[in-house]
Structure 1
């Protein structure tokens, strides 16, 4: 995850305390000194929508053998013991779980900051208030375009209007809320409109995800942006973030799942002759160390299996029903887990030779494996030129 706001303006938000510290890039089992990884828990596979790029392949049906309430509380206890700072409740649609509020409250009281990733369609005024009262740190609502584009992605007419109501209800109770937007060929032209939208709706935050070819997203590899389109998208994100700052608007802008974004920001600052900005960007990239799936970020699926991240569920390290999460996370007998914690010697192709490897750490492994069949191959979504990476 790249905080565009942090790199450009040194603005401090909660997640920056985990991403940009002097110790972050040296960690092997957590986000920074003294804490474990941020954990996504896909708490259910059931969903009321059917998104075309869903990495979980979720559907509106009941799935068997998901963690029970008691098992989930034991899991949360284990996270607290391992000093996990944040638990992101995801899905499917996590609000479909009847015990969501009980478990989010349990996490908060255990000292693990609960956050929520949702499609927003189930957030009534009452739900928004309960989320706020529990102390959920952040609600991320997935929106992949404005009305027609979003509803096409979500596989459900009316999904946009319901998500909009969910956003409005969060804003009304003072709940911190943001958008999760996956950039691809179908919606890249709407980036400027999305920036207009979050300003008009008083939304605090937006995460622009790069497409990962996982789950139903495997079929969308040809819907990803070209390298030239990725650069143009980043130009828009940088331009609009700077515009917010110039007008005194405090919005947290992030990009996710493509760590060459940070290097691109550095190169653009150098190209513009802004050496001070370039130095600041490189300082934070050096602290962070690039992609940290399997290190500072992990995922647990609805059945309790542990994975490097939510897009890499085809590689499994253990089950929280059988062993504590912290024990699984530190066990390097699995070659993928061991490799993720020290991946540089294993990387191949452009990634292995890239002069920015210490700042990117090989980008996203699942995309490389989806295209080449090799987990350690170069990430095909890196849009930097050979000249820019020192080849």
Structure 2
């Protein structure tokens, strides 16, 4: 994660260093991931939380909660809180009212995260417009609670023209965080991605000058190269150097891979977009044993930076700050996780003095 407001406005290093363990994204219900396997029971879910806590995982993202009843979700959040995990609930098209949000906050939920892909317009299909409206109503309701809030903005060909309006809307609804994520899509070329991230960087600096300190983040490390370039072109020399140093220290010290995905039946995946490749199940082995398995050649390669990055990344001028992007996105686009990330949009120039410094694969 790249925190734009801290880097570009305060020229500061991130206040917290990576913990050395991955963030875990837990898909609670997903028929595609279940196959013919039975979902985890309530007691098994608690056992999984114990495994994560014992391994040192600090951050847990819950998705797919609509398939569980409210009491089960609240119980899981409460148990995770008791074990010291900071939990975010990510919703997709689900509207939560103030009473429900207060109940989740009481259970120990830290953050509610909603997805908004654009503005609700009469031209949209009803389902898309309803999802947008549900997300915005959830943010409005959360404004009266103690929950931290996040608006997730997936960048694709249709949403890219709405970035400024959605960013302003996030601030208007008092969201604590605006998160941009890249969606692999051929219709959105590299130059349009560059313009979108540049506009978000400009909006972040403008908001900071107006004393609106919304946290603005970019998911993953794929944007690190362009953020370095932006800082070089728009900040003074000392700040630009600090930005590059901070990105190198932050991403270079992150666990590799930085995000683990957990399926509803207990399968462990190397990260988002890896749905076709499960490492093992927590029903068979503890999470920590699966994640640190030195006998798994894929994990070993992902953890050894030079081996885990494409040639293009190793020779890139931004190799010391970029994590090589998402190996899962590369798998989806090329059927090979060690090909370049399909959403990479940096201008290709060789690194000075040879290969790039080490950085983890996502």
| CA–CA distance in structure 2, aligned partners of residues 291 and 148 of structure 1 | 43
Q: Secondary structure at the match of 2:143?
A: helix
| Alignment equivalent of 1:377, drawn from 339, 342, 347 | 339
What is the count of residue pairs matched by the alignment? 353
Where do 1:141-290 residues align within 5 Å? 141-148=114-121, 152=125, 155-212=127-184, 221-223=185-187, 225-257=188-220, 259-272=221-234, 274-289=236-251
Q: Secondary structure at the match of 1:173?
A: coil
The match for 1:66 is: 39
Q: Would the aligned equivalents of 1:293 and 1:309 in 2 still touch at CA under 8 Å?
A: no
Q: Would the aligned equivalents of 2:117 and 2:132 in 1 still touch at CA under 8 Å?
A: no
* Deviations 1:188-246 (CA, angstroms, capped at 9, x unpaired): 0101101210121111111100014xxxxxxxx333x2111011001110000001110
| CA–CA distance in structure 2, aligned partners of residues 373 and 120 of structure 1 | 30
| CA–CA distance in structure 2, aligned partners of residues 76 and 66 of structure 1 | 15
Deviation (angstroms), 1:282:
1.0
| CA–CA distance in structure 2, aligned partners of residues 105 and 369 of structure 1 | 35
Task: State which drifts further: 270-279 or 176-185.
Answer: 270-279
| CA–CA distance in structure 2, aligned partners of residues 291 and 317 of structure 1 | 23
Deviation (angstroms), 1:297:
2.1
Q: Would the aligned equivalents of 2:8 and 2:243 in 1 still touch at CA under 8 Å?
A: yes
Where do 1:324-363 residues align within 5 Å? 324-363=286-325
| CA–CA distance in structure 2, aligned partners of residues 10 and 96 of structure 1 | 43
The match for 1:136 is: 109
| CA–CA distance in structure 2, aligned partners of residues 97 and 301 of structure 1 | 19
Gap runs ≥5 in structure 2: 355-362
Distance 1:377 1:251, change over 3 A: same
The match for 2:95 is: 122
Deviation (angstroms), 1:119:
2.2
TM-score (norm 2): 0.88
Q: Would the aligned equivalents of 2:273 and 2:332 in 1 still touch at CA under 8 Å?
A: no
| CA–CA distance in structure 2, aligned partners of residues 164 and 260 of structure 1 | 28
Q: Secondary structure at the match of 2:101?
A: helix
| CA–CA distance in structure 2, aligned partners of residues 115 and 121 of structure 1 | 15
Distance 1:333 1:206, change over 3 A: same
| Alignment equivalent of 1:297, drawn from 246, 252, 259 | 259
Across the aligned residues of Structure 1 and Structure 2, the Cα RMSD in angstroms comes to 2.8
| Alignment equivalent of 1:312, drawn from 274, 290, 293 | 274
Distance 1:4 1:272, change over 3 A: closer
Distance 1:83 1:301, change over 3 A: same
| CA–CA distance in structure 2, aligned partners of residues 182 and 150 of structure 1 | 20
The match for 1:77 is: 50
Distance 1:324 1:64, change over 3 A: closer
| CA–CA distance in structure 2, aligned partners of residues 269 and 201 of structure 1 | 29
| CA–CA distance in structure 1, aligned partners of residues 36 and 15 of structure 2 | 37
TM-score (norm 1): 0.82
Are 1:87 and 2:60 matched, yes or no? yes
The match for 1:43 is: 28
Deviation (angstroms), 1:10:
4.4
| CA–CA distance in structure 1, aligned partners of residues 29 and 66 of structure 2 | 7
Deviation (angstroms), 1:346:
4.2
Q: Secondary structure at the match of 2:96?
A: coil
Q: Secondary structure at the match of 2:281?
A: coil
Q: Would the aligned equivalents of 2:156 and 2:183 in 1 still touch at CA under 8 Å?
A: yes
| CA–CA distance in structure 1, aligned partners of residues 339 and 76 of structure 2 | 39
Where do 1:10-25 residues align within 5 Å? 10=10, 16=14, 18=16, 21=17, 24=18
Q: Secondary structure at the match of 2:307?
A: helix
Runs (4+) of structure 1 moved beyond 6 Å? Answer: none
Deviation (angstroms), 1:343:
3.1
| CA–CA distance in structure 1, aligned partners of residues 270 and 298 of structure 2 | 9
